[in-house]
Amino acid sequence: MIKKTKKRLSEDGGEIQGHMTRRTRAVVLLAMTIVGIGAIALAVWTIIIMPRTNPGAQRGVSASGFTAFVEQDSDLGMGTVVKKEDVKSVLGNKSKSVSDVVVSKVMNLDGNRGQTATYPFVRADGKKASVYVDVMLFKNQAALDAANVTKNTLKGGMIGDLPAYYLHALTLGSDREYRLLVIKGLNVY
């Protein structure tokens, strides 16, 4: 028995190219499905084996060798530099309440280490504010000199036997920040 197949012809009488039978379509669809599943499996496998990074534990190194990272288990003792009672005393009746100190992790910027202690408080008018104390421990005199920490400051006399400097007040949105800089050796507060 001979089976005749009809050739499909276009409107101009030419044979239509690229016509696929049902079997060809099924094979192509199956192959595309297998390739798609393989691509998804490869993507999932790649995500699973990728190394994990812990936020704050990442280390940045620039082309010049400058490094920046958070020291996870370090403490420079900023929580004890200024006591909560001292903050209450200085603020006096300008505050309703002073919260406990919040101490940041230590940030290491190319060997110079910094930390912040923050005392949130509620002002007498009910608005929230904060007093914070920063320290930057410079690794050597050259690093301190390169930082130009006293640039754009005014001499503020002495606090005890330490030189103090006023920095320009900053307005950040509706907040106003007043800053005083004190230098003790290679430590800048």
Round to whole Å and give the CA distance between 75 and 105. Answer: 7
DSSP 126: S
- Would you place residue 16 in the very low, low, confident or very high pLDDT band (cuts 50, 70, 90)? low
Averaged pLDDT score across all residues of the chain: 83
CB 55 within 8 A of CB 105: no
Round to whole Å and give the CA distance between 58 and 107. Answer: 12
Query: Is the confidence at residue 10, as pLDDT, over 60?
Result: no
Round to whole Å and give the CA distance between 39 and 32. Answer: 10
Which tokens belong to 8? 């499909």
CB 109 within 8 A of CB 71: no
Most confident of 40-49, 63-72, 136-145, 170-179: 136-145
Give the residue-averaged pLDDT of 168-184.
Answer: 83
Round to whole Å and give the CA distance between 152 and 144. Answer: 15
Query: Is the confidence at residue 17, as pLDDT, over 70?
Result: no
CB 12 within 8 A of CB 20: no
Give the residue-averaged pLDDT of 73-79.
Answer: 90
More confidently predicted of 175 and 147: 147
Instruction: State how far the alpha carbon of 152 is from the alpha carbons of 46, 54, 129, 173, in Å.
Output: 51, 37, 25, 22
